[in-house]
Amino acid sequence: MRIRGIIHRTDLPGHDISQKQLAEWLRSGAVQSMQPWYLTSEAPADLVSILRTGTRPTCLDAAALHGLWVPPSLKSVHVFRPRQGRGRRSAGRGRTTAPEAVPVPKATPVRRRKGKIVWGPEKTLPLSHHGPALRTWPSAHPVPDLSLVLQHAARCLPLSQAATLFESALDRKELAPREAERVISALPQRLRRGLARIRSDAGSGTETTVRWWFESLGVAVSTQVSIAGVGRVDLLLGQSWVIECDSREFHDNPEQYARDRARDLALQALGYRVTRLTWKQVFVTWASTQERLLSILRRADHHRPPDFRLSLTA
């Protein structure tokens, strides 16, 4: 994946940039050299922070650069690099003094919503290196292809989070279903079995997280169901429990808020139970949210049909 403002030295000939022109740009400060990269002012600061460590982003950080919906996990910066030599095993033999502490490499995490950076450069996190190790870089691009990013994510993240990335890629047409199957088929069996449930119609990562939790309990969930007079709803459990999942971390659109409540009222008038889950309930207070959802589930009211006969199409 190419990124505006960042070019690998091996790509210079393809851009018809002469050494004389490059030297002039370097002298004027229009271009900076951070080998093997040349950077302009358009280079994203968060990505440059990663490249500066001699690594390249993958998993959550690369998925954000590919434009996918990324779970709000901020424990480390996910990177990879080709296999490097380990040096001589005897190098430390005979040492009598304690070794000096080696600083832990850190970088700025890449977290974006609809292309906008949502995590400032003022805080850095330690690097989390991904395998399996490669012998060479897969390309001269600063961000690897999405297929490699998803392979790393499947081996690194909890299953529901990895599924969120796959489903976001499918929903946004960044990944074809056949390519998703190819990526999953190369994974260990335990991961293949779990990711076999991914869908291409998930409306948001919040929706995926909630749906996968219900399915892990053995509860059948219908997604993106069309209800006459209302439109599509995110999730339908049984015959009458509608769950709408809000993917917005911050609520700054009063018109959308009003439309959502009007839909909820219309559904309730038709005899449906409606539960609207916020981003915070799913990703900040998820444990307590689960307890409340279980309490509703145990009453089994969702098995009762709504008050009116409706034509439902999944």
Residue ranges in the chain whose pLDDT is less than 70: 84-102, 114-122, 132-133, 249-252, 307-314
Q: How far is CA 61 from the centre of its chain?
A: 8
pLDDT of residue 130: 92
How does the average pLDDT of the chain come out, rounded?
86
pLDDT of residue 89: 40
> Are the C-beta atoms of 242 and 274 separated by less than 8 Å?
yes
Distance, CA of 222 to CA of 202 (rounded, Å): 11
pLDDT of residue 249: 62
- Radius of gyration of the chain from Cα atoms? 24
Distance, CA of 103 to CA of 108 (rounded, Å): 16
> Whole-angstrom distance between the N-terminal and C-terminal Cα of the chain?
35
Query: Domains in the chain and their CATH numbers?
Result: 1-42 (no CATH), 44-82+104-200 (no CATH), 205-313 (3.40.960.10)
pLDDT of residue 127: 94
pLDDT of residue 308: 56
pLDDT of residue 252: 62
pTM recorded for the entire structure: 0.83
pLDDT of residue 247: 73
How far, in Å, are 9, 23, 38, 94 from residue 20 at the CA level? 14, 5, 15, 52
Q: What is the pLDDT of residues 238-292, one digit of tens each?
A: 999 999 998 776 556 778 888 888 999 999 999 999 999 998 899 899 999 999 9
Residue 73: CB partners within 8 Å, gap ≥ 6? 60, 157, 161
